[in-house]
Structure 1
Amino acid sequence: MQPLPSASLGIYADEELVKRLPGFTNHYATVNGVRLHYVEGGHGPALVCLPGWPQTWYSFHPIATELARHYRVILVDIRGMGSSDKPATGYDKKTMAQDIYELLRYLGLAKASLLGHDIGGMVASSFAFNYPQATEKLIIADGAHPSEGMRHMPLLPAAGSFTQKMDDQHPYPWWMAFNQVKELPEQLLAGRFHLLLDYLFGYVMLDETRMSAFDRALYAAVYNEPENIRASNAWYQAFEQDIADAQQYARLSMPVLGIGSYVSYNYLQMSLPYLADDVRVVGLMDSGHYMFEEKPARVLEAVLDFLQEPAAQ
């Protein structure tokens, strides 16, 4: 059953946002015990796009229309995001990958390529590990699968490195720890999420003006609700299970592309070869973490070149 329009969000409701993407339409599907919201447009081979924190399906709007000229583009609000359900459990990336697999089955798709950003990249990676037969190609943008390396993140930033912009040599993602805290973040941030967003965009983007006032207001409207903060933090609180699951996975055999911003390129370049046999990494060294907004043309070039490259025989 489809929900009524999100009247409380006004111009930021999905029913209004989708009008900004000609040829795209809103949909809902109940799969794996959870109702997912997704937006679909275009024709051709399937490309499933999974967003990250703290955004929604709309984060792909700078590149979605061009991608839809070549592919059947499916932009998904992952479990706990946007208009998708926010259950009490199921935020480990293996369960979230199953959500996406069941969505593909619902859509009658045997196989798809996946493009995931941030947390969405973690879910896309888990999908590839757990459903290699359903994965054509994997693209992760600043968001690889959780690993033991997370345990080595510093409690304190390196001396002199914690300034207005994230240091590419000593990145300090303090929200990884903050989002582990239960109940307190939603009490602090409900109705005030714009404060976190403005700080975050300024810290991890090289050109924060590329995140428009409309987009900022949209994400603030979505994440202002306590339940939405609780659910999105649950993605981080499941890292322990994600790390344990990673110990059981075999190497990936499908082609894998990593797209790294100035703070993630070196990490992806070092880590991805340990996970897959066919890997390439593109560095957008003049872009921060929110690369779809900062460098959409560069992202499109990397994604389309990779997807259109013939598979090795």
Structure 2
Amino acid sequence: MPAQGEGTEVRVEVEGRVLRLTNLEKVLYPATGTTKGEVLDYYARIAPVLLPQLRDRAVTRVRWPHGTGRPSFFEKNAPTGTPPWVRTAEVSTTGSRRARSTGEAAQEGTLVFPVIDDLATLTWVVNLAALELHVHQWRVGRTGRSRRPDRIVIDLDPGEPAGLGECCEVALLVRGLLEDRGLEATPVLSGSKGLHLYAALDALPRGEAPADSTESTGLARAVAEQLQRDHPGLVTASMTKQRRGGKVFLDWSQNAGSKTTVAPYSLRGRDRPYAAAPLTWDEVVAGAEDPLDIDQLTFTEVLERVEAQGDLFAAG
């Protein structure tokens, strides 16, 4: 795939699919001059570690058709003109879900999401200026069978003057409580202000694993509220924004069946092309000890890390 084109349109073949890529020279990150062609190149190169984070999940996209700093919009439904080969998932607004093809009409009260299982679909989505890719914490069954949540996520969001250093400090506390429950956490820089902590639920015995999103949300909330009780000067689990100043807000709500979180390795629509980047726990410890040792990472830095260290999310 070309990283940039001189014309307004090129045709490329990706996994046997012919795609029309447009406006490759368009600047999507004005602060750095990063073009749409460079964004497409990033997603093509990061695909081997990103696609496992998207596979079998309904994907909400955030699109910046005129670049960051200009209006953006969330898109859940597959748009008009979606290629017939793109797999989609019909998600009920009441929480039930089943896999489907784009050829069927959506039932009332449902949304039809694209499911990004391959590079061709990823390329098609990114060509629509979808910089951010958000996913649920449950997967879509290919036969239509509803699946349990397969992981929980806790979003560590610092309220000024707290920052990434405080997030790292709190992340270590969250890690300990999750380990007490038999869960191993993986830290991910959000690409925005804070950190995300993921924990796979398949480590729990069948009888102890959450049966649905309500139970997984309850598990994440219990961890957040325990830390709020133990460290009230540092942590809040309250949704009230006025209570977050100088503290790290532990957002447990992103485990709800209708909620999504930006996928690891996805770009963010910030002023610079930051990406959600998995970390080692040694890096989190260093950030807790000295906040100058940790910062959000650009897509170039993320690519360099993956080349040197592999998929830290899988390793975690």
**TM-score normalised to the size of structure 1?**
0.28
| Higher-helix-fraction structure | 1
From the two aligned structures, give the one with the greater strand fraction: 2
Greater radius of gyration (CA): 2
